[in-house]
Structure 1
Amino acid sequence: MEKVRGTPEDSFKLLPLYMEMLKKKNSGTCTFLEVDNANNFKYFFMAIGGCIHGFISSIRPVIAIDGTFLKGKFKGTLFIATALDGNNQLYPVTFGVGDSENDASWGWFLMKLKVAIGEVPNLVFISDRHPSIQKNVNIAFPNVAYGICTHYLKQNLRAKFKEIEVGAIVELAAKTYRPQHFNYFMNEIQKVDERVVKYLQDAGYEKWARCHFDGLRYSIMTTNIAESMNSVLKNPRQLPIHKLLDSIIDKLREWFCDRREEAVNCHTRLTKWAEKELLTKSENSRTYKVVTLNMYEFIVKDGDLNGHVNILDKTCSCREFQLDQLPCEHALAVCRYRETLSVYDMCSRYYSSEAWVAAYAETIYHVGTEEEWEVSEEVQSNEVLPLVEKRKKGRPQKLRIPSQCEEKLSRKCGRCGSRGHNRLTCSAPIPLSNNEPVVRPNET
């Protein structure tokens, strides 16, 4: 394996050469490397030019950031910044490697991210509740909106209030567009336990509730996109660092090639995902009644709170139109009522098939084999030593490390249904017939 991959120690030495070739092969690529006084590796950052150009020009400005541990000989953390394209597919923006998830490493990564993407209008960051992330987002990007992942908020609630089950109501409160509905759900939570309401208030409604968020999240409420990218790199994370980067580049090349072809062959004005979303909403709005106020304003009666639609401003009192930048059911009912109105003119450019093509317009090139590299003597003379701290002896960590305050779920037995063991170690008696109930060990 070392003949194929190289040793972890040699991999760190190859980093300066790898960075040089990466920038030669991919125009606009941004890389940074930092070492300590003894030339030991500290931080690495990589932003491929094609990803940066596509994100700035054609991707919704919502970035989910997360870190995940590396599995190789030396300790380390892989930092990932990910967005969603107009077809709601993963769009990696930047990658980084540091020692761990701490203030210094997150601060360094986010400052380099700022250098790579510059000032992006209406930019939004979403992460879990790691204190180092929020702190350093505010430092590196003082004028952007910051939100927390609603999934991790529910996990934190479950860990703090084990005897209370309000996760479903919290999710409804987080996703609702109308403040009236939000207040209703919060009142329901208060009936269950006031401590939960106090906890949610302390977390900040403006960080997790869509209707109170100071920015556009475009229906992106969780960091699942970053977690999904972590899962894609599950096996490469055990490789030496330059081979890990090779795997990332190879995956980006594959995605850009496949999705570019898919986008070019798309014959609708919007992406496939956006077209499907509009079709579903249009079917739901067929029974709505439209009342005209003037040339641009309409009242749409839906049997609930109704919707006040302004076609000129592209807004609706349900707030879904302006927050998702896609026509809501009320707006689609108006378009059906006024046949001269085009649904597509009301959609954000980010959902158009043109933006989809532009996001993947550039080609991602592999750096090639080491024998093909052509770098200056100055770059070759840069010596990078491995991280100071090695992994402890023993079987390395393979499973995902739960985030802060996240409850670790125990395994569930497939035979008796109890938690804490599996079917191979289950000691519950086997039922004599299908009608006889299973007696679990803790019930005897």
Structure 2
Amino acid sequence: MHVVRKNGVGMISDRHESIRAAVNRSGGDWQPPRAWWIFCIRHIGSNFLRAFKVPHLQKLVVNIGYSITVEEYNINYKRLEEQGEAYTRWCDAIGLRHWVLAFDKGHRWGHMTTNLVECINSVLKGARNLPVLALVRATYYRLNELFTQKSAESHERKRAGYTYSVFAQQRIEASMQQAGNIVVHHFDKRNEVFEVREMTSGKRINWHVYVHDMYKMTEVRKVYRFEFSPLGDAETWPAYEGPTLVANPALRRTSKGRPKLTRYLNEMDSRDMRGSRICRLCGAQGHSRSRCPQRAGSSGGGE
């Protein structure tokens, strides 16, 4: 009633039996055409690694899921089939529309994992901790640059002879229609040259739908309708007789570096579960070739 408010909504999750049971007993509310259950590619890669214990093929399975054209899917699928038919049979049991981008009928809009925040971070990388005005400007520039880049890649793929599936083509056309009544044809941030053309469909965007009243200047001015009483000098404040709070130094976050990872790792975190680095120059652990003490010219290399 409150989440699935129109048909065609995509629900991305893992394949846990409890989720499957909830979908099956929903009475059709979480099933097509109302909703489409699609799977997170990271969880599929984790399940594959747990089933077959072949880390060198996990990336190939993930690439199959990321295939955006039928040709690309066939190439990756054939490569996996050459490694063993048991692997492809396992993939076939999932169902193409549940995990392969070329056959998802456009319901996942390119989102392959359940962690959509990371997708946003990758687009807006470098715009953190900026003032609000600079953040909005950076978002505008980055999204226009991204749309221009993706549009150029799409035309390049067509010229190269790629054949999109019907669903992928519908997804591209739908995204262009929902982008609004303007299309960015040229974007040059450095020289501040932008070429924006208006679509001939006559479709207009009502910006009031996307901006809440709390962000409008009429609401901001209401904050200053009342008088603010000054606090006065601190020496005139009444004495405080309540409990004394002592900060816990263990909870203090360091200002430098990334926070220490505290969650339990699984097969999806294979990159983080790797052992110590092994130097390709001396064979020792704990450093790379660029930091090897035996490297020629190194300050710690001895004679």
Cα offset for 1:410? 3.5
TM-score (norm 2): 0.52
SS at structure 2 position matched to 1:145:
strand
Which amino acid in the other structure matches residue 204 of structure 1? G
Structure 1 counterpart of 2:161: 304
Identify which range, 203-212 or 168-177, moves more after superposition.
168-177
Cα offset for 1:126? 0.7
TM-score (norm 1): 0.38
Q: Does 1:202 align with 2:93?
A: yes
1:225 to 1:190, Cα distance in 2 relative to 1, 3 A: same
Q: Does 1:160 align with 2:51?
A: yes
Structure 2 counterpart of 1:176: 67
Structure 1 counterpart of 2:150: 281
Kept in 2, the 8 Å contact 1:122–1:215? The answer is no
Kept in 2, the 8 Å contact 1:205–1:213? The answer is yes
1:318 to 1:123, Cα distance in 2 relative to 1, 3 A: closer
Cα offset for 1:132? 1.1
1:278 to 1:411, Cα distance in 2 relative to 1, 3 A: closer
Alignment partners' CA distance in 2, 1:209 and 1:194: 18
Kept in 2, the 8 Å contact 1:175–1:221? The answer is yes
Structure 1 counterpart of 2:253: none
Kept in 2, the 8 Å contact 1:326–1:347? The answer is no
Unaligned runs of 5+ in 2: 121-127, 187-194, 220-260, 287-291, 297-303
Q: Does 1:129 align with 2:15?
A: yes
2:42 to 151, 154, 159: 151
Q: Does 1:399 align with 2:272?
A: no
Kept in 2, the 8 Å contact 1:158–1:164? The answer is yes
Kept in 1, the 8 Å contact 2:38–2:99? The answer is yes
Cα offset for 1:158? 2.2
Structure 1 counterpart of 2:226: none
1:412 to 1:123, Cα distance in 2 relative to 1, 3 A: same
Please list, as runs of the form range in 1=range in 2, the aligned pairs for 1:218-257 lying within 5 A after superposition: 218-225=109-116
Cα offset for 1:210? 1.5
Cα offset for 1:181? 2.5
Cα offset for 1:200? 0.8
Equivalent pairs, count = 218
Kept in 1, the 8 Å contact 2:15–2:39? The answer is yes
Unaligned runs of 5+ in 1: 1-113, 230-254, 289-299, 309-314, 364-397, 424-430, 436-444
Which amino acid in the other structure matches residue 211 of structure 2? V
Alignment partners' CA distance in 2, 1:407 and 1:414: 16
Alignment partners' CA distance in 2, 1:208 and 1:348: 35
1:415 to 1:118, Cα distance in 2 relative to 1, 3 A: closer
